Structure 1
Amino acid sequence: MKKKSLLTTSLIFYAVTSQAADLPLSTESITFSVDHLWVLVSTALVFFMQAGFKAFEVGMVRTEHSNAVSIKNIIDWIVGSLIFLFVGFGVMFGKSHLGFIGSDLFFGIGIQDNPEGSPLGTIFFLFQIAFATTALTIVSGAMSERTGFIPYMTASAFIAIFIYPVFGHWVWGNLFYENNPAWLADLGFIDFAGSTVVHSIGAWVALVGIWMIGPRLGRFDENGKPVHFKSSSYSYSVLGLIILWLGWWGFNGGSQLALDKAVGDIILNTNIAGATAGLVAFFHCYWFQDRKDLYPKLLGGVIGGLVAITAPCAYVSHLDSLIIGAIAGLVHNYSFDFLLHKLKLDDPVGAIPVHGFCGVWGTLSVAFFGDLAADVSRLEQLGIQLLGVVVAFVFTTSTSFLMFALLKKTVGLRVSPQEEKTGFIIGGEKTEDENSEDEIDGMSEEELMKLITSDQ
């Protein structure tokens, strides 16, 4: 008899000591426990992505803002964890009220020992916390360097309470209670691991946020042309990218919610798309875009490919993943320039091209390349996917506009010009400046543009 490997022994030990220990030791009980273990490991990988986002964003912003960006990243996890426990998880996965919103599972009640719910119980909840905080972190990067702490924290709480879980209920509301209505999913909308549910939702909140708060001081000259801001450390951003790439294996692979033969293909598809997108983004910028923003486009291209494959990764072949990634690299580069040069929107970390536009492409690519049900044509699936994308955009931008407008009228959105120039300490003493953040929020577009261009 061959000696059992350490892994096999560990899995059997886990089966005996886990909640499956009450069952007779059998193939079914071991499989049950292995699935729990895989989702728990995937949860840890997705949680580790917070370190990747932190490193990536700190490397992309200016040095004086690195501390504030770091603190906002940890605040995302703190706020997201508690708010999602108290309210968000129930809104997203609770028993549906009129097919619109969940109505139980608040404060974690019923998550673990509910015979009608997911057999993963608490582990499923932990996995979903990690997903929810990813959506929050996308907003952090896009609005960095000029957003006040209180308005940002308030926005994060609102996203975790309402925006993310409500739309998530429409798509994934049947993952905990199998028979729960989820009206977009019931129509046939497919978003396996969240190209739209997680990534585009975060990006559209960020889009409204950066439009309402305006660009960083000095980001555009008097003619509206972008002024180069030196990033603190691309090498640090590369480290963050590598951490994110690893985390994505858990993000997509863990979304299978079981360790079966499909997981290997899902992770391989994820890796192929990210690598291809980065390569295409780099050489497209090098040969066709005069090497402008070459490094941000390389790094953003990789993440854009990972975002794009997140929706179709369980339904496409390896060759399809390569094509999806290649197109994602182009989508990223063109949307990067469109936002910066045409719309004059200031996104310091390039979050919106990555998570918004590449998220849309990935969601639509399901219809072009996915292994669909026999009774659904690709044109029909494209219509369903497009509907989900449009609903996500309209719902998120409209609710975000109301949220940011209310914050702007009450606590304000921006820090003072002095804090923006020299960096600010979250929770520290406010720097005196002749233009307070309240005055900035009250300025007209013309007055704000004069202040921005006067910083040259």
Structure 2
Amino acid sequence: MENNIFELQYALDTFYFLVCGALVMWMAAGFAMLEAGLVRSKSTTEILTKNVALFAIACTAYLVVGYEIMYDGGMFLKDIALDGAKTAEGLTAAVLAESAEAKFDGGSVYSNASDFFFQVVFVATAMSIVSGAVAERMKLWSFLLFAVVMTAFIYPMEGSWTWGGKSVFGMYSLGDDFGFSDFAGSGIVHMAGAAAALSGVILLGARKGKYGKDGKITPIPGSNLPLATLGTFILWMGWFGFNGGSVLKLGDVANANSVAMVFLNTNAAAAGGVIVALIVARLMFGKADLTMALNGALAGLVAITAEPSTPTPLMATIIGGIGGLIVVFSIITLDKMKIDDPVGAISVHGVVGLWGLLAVPLTNDGASFFGQIMGAITIFVWVFVTSFIVWMVIKMIMGIRVSEEEEYEGVDIGECGMEAYPEFTGK
């Protein structure tokens, strides 16, 4: 009887993991649509190409080496090809043998393959954050080369210090020494992606015409706000898998209630972010700014990601609302600093990601502000410095920015040889 319970629990938790992973994978479509809508029409094909290619690269690089670095997962291609235990039959036999030898205590049990699938789509999410920030002026192949290093090494290393439980170069443990907590990745995924993006943007420079010599900022509106809105709703939906799957278990009353609360709080925070961002934009600009509302939704989602299980729904709304407030001022401030981020990714995922980490101790007694700050510093410094070095090496080898002529004509033609809207002559 106990063995039957174990098998049922195993099947249910594995299935839940896979469904949530599929929802997170769908966020790749959300990023693609959001970024395609917020760039100019002449840059649309290239940004879509980047999003498709980076997802494929992330999945492959993390399979070959990244998962091993982060979790000692042993999912190398050579293992899958040569080791029978990596097949479905081999895994089944190993699990059943283990369950027969040990008493099942009702803990989290699921297929290692489902764990890898869930983890790999998180890696792709972190890399997707970078693509929007460097849009419209970065060379496609330089970006894809960076994606290999980011997903195979930079992200897995900081992930090994946090979710992987390893010490930071043998010096200290974020979890054991400082109690650092990041439930689903406000810092580990989102702030890390933003740190990589910021380093690239600094080296890359702004789009031509964005900033005048007199300090004037020239807005460069996106080409398709309906597409950007669709992308935001896709991301909003995918986030239920992002946060909900991070519970890691479904098949008992306590965890089912935890999953339900995570879904509720994730949605509440997004709603709070939209409302506050829209109100702040109205007060500052005198108009209802759609792009700020969209970024407010994403900011609310990023803010609650570090701890969506312990807040009350009202507190989750407040945490998301503060994220919506922060993102408006952050976008304006970075613009004044001449940091050109076409989609606001650094503000949404980086600045608000930090807020998400700092909000954890407000509802989770097991976390401290000092521990959260130590975690944030460790993640940001590692990702920013290593990314800056990688960008610099790529710049010296093959360059990272397209020519001024290619930028003027549009990277669609220069990088991809085709336009997204060939019947539309406007640039």
User: How would you bin the TM-score normalised by the shorter chain?
Assistant: 0.7 to 0.9
**Displacement of 1:305 after TM fit?**
0.5
**1:25 Cα deviation after fit:** 7.3
**Secondary structure at the residue paired with 1:274?**
helix
TM-score under structure 1 length normalisation: 0.80
Q: Counterpart in 2 of 1:274? A: 270
Report the equivalent of 2:195.
Answer: 204
Partner in structure 2 of residue 184 of structure 1: 174
The answer to whether 1:48 aligns with 2:26 is yes
1:286 aligns with one of 282, 286, 290: 282
Q: Report the counterpart of residue 355 of structure 1 in structure 2.
A: 349
- TM-score where L is the length of structure 2: 0.86
**Which AA in structure 2 matches 1:305?**
G
Matches within 5 A, 1:33-432: 33-94=11-72, 104-107=74-77, 109=79, 113=91, 119-174=110-165, 183-187=173-177, 188-259=179-250, 260-287=256-283, 289-291=284-286, 294-341=289-336, 343-370=337-364, 372-373=365-366, 381-425=368-412, 428=416
SS at match of 1:325: helix
AA at the equivalent of 2:404: P
Q: In 2, are the aligned partners of 1:41 and 1:250 still within 8 Å (CA)?
A: yes
Give the aligned residue type for 1:294. D
Contact map agreement 2:137 2:411 (CA 8 A) in 1: no
Residue 423 (structure 1) shift: 1.6
Conserved in 2, the CA contact under 8 Å of 1:300 and 1:350?
yes
Number of the residue aligned with 1:16: none
For residues 201 and 186 of structure 1, what CA distance do their matches in structure 2 show?
21
Report deviation, 1:244: 0.4
- The alignment partner of 1:215 has SS state of coil
Cα displacement string for residues 142-170 of structure 1 (whole angstroms, at most 9, x for unaligned residues): 00000001210111111011111000000
List per-residue Cα deviations over 1:299-357 (Å, max 9, x = no partner).
1011010001000112222122011011111111111111011x111000000110001
Contact 1:147 1:415 in 2 (8 A): yes
Q: Which amino acid aligns with 2:263?
A: I
1:431-442 matched pairs, under 5 angstroms: none
C-alpha deviations, 1:272-324, integer Å up to 9, x for none? 0000011100101101x224792221110110100010001122221220110
CA contact (8 A) 1:169 1:182 kept: no
Partner-residue secondary structure (3-state), 1:415: coil
Shift of 1:127: 0.5
1: distance between equivalents of 2:78 and 2:288?
A: 45
Per the TM alignment, residue 396 of structure 1 is displaced from its structure 2 partner at its CA by: 1.2
Letter in 2 for 1:197: I
Q: How far apart are 1:428 and its partner, in Å?
A: 4.6
Instruction: Using the TM superposition, give the Cα deviation of residue 257 of structure 1 relative to its aligned residue in structure 2, in angstroms.
Output: 1.2
Count of residues in Structure 1 that have an aligned counterpart in Structure 2 = 387
Aligned to 2:316, the other structure's residue is in SS state: helix
Give distance in 2, aligned partners of 1:422 and 1:120: 49
Confirm or deny: 8 A CA contact 1:272 1:325 kept in the other structure. Answer: yes
Contact 1:368 1:382 in 2 (8 A): no
Aligned-residue identity in percent? 36
Distance in 2 (CA, whole Å) between partners of 1:196 and 1:340 is 23
Q: What is the distance in 1 between the residues matched to 2:275 and 2:318?
A: 12
Write out per-residue CA displacement over residues 99-141 of structure 1, whole angstroms, 9 at most, x where no aligned residue.
xxxxx54337377747799742101100111000000110001
CA-CA distance at 1:44 after TM superposition: 0.6
Query: Aligned-pair distance for 1:228?
Result: 1.6
Moved more, 113-122 or 399-408: 113-122
CA contact (8 A) 2:272 2:321 kept: yes
Bigger shift: residues 73-82 or 112-121: 112-121
Instruction: Choose 25-34 or 345-354, whichever is displaced more.
Output: 25-34
* Distance in 2, Cα, partners of 1:309 & 1:182: 27
Residue type of the alignment partner of 1:263: V
Give the secondary-structure state (helix, strand or coil) at the position aligned to 2:34: helix
What is the distance in 1 between the residues matched to 2:229 and 2:140?
A: 27
Residues 1:337 and 1:46: Cα distance change in structure 2 (over 3 Å) = same
Measured in 2, the distance between the counterparts of 1:390 and 1:292 equals 37
In 2 relative to 1, CA 111–202 (structure 1 residues): closer, same or farther, beyond 3 Å?
farther
What is the rounded CA distance, in whole Å, between the counterparts of 2:193 and 2:341 in structure 1?
Answer: 13
Structure 1 residues 111, 292: CA separation in 2 closer, same or farther (over 3 Å shift)? farther
CA-to-aligned-CA distance 1:373-427 (integer Å, 9 cap, x gap):
4xxxx6xx10000110111111111111111111111100101112212222475
Residue pair 1:296, 1:350 contacting (<8 A) in 2 also: no
How far is the alpha carbon of 1:261 from its aligned partner?
2.0
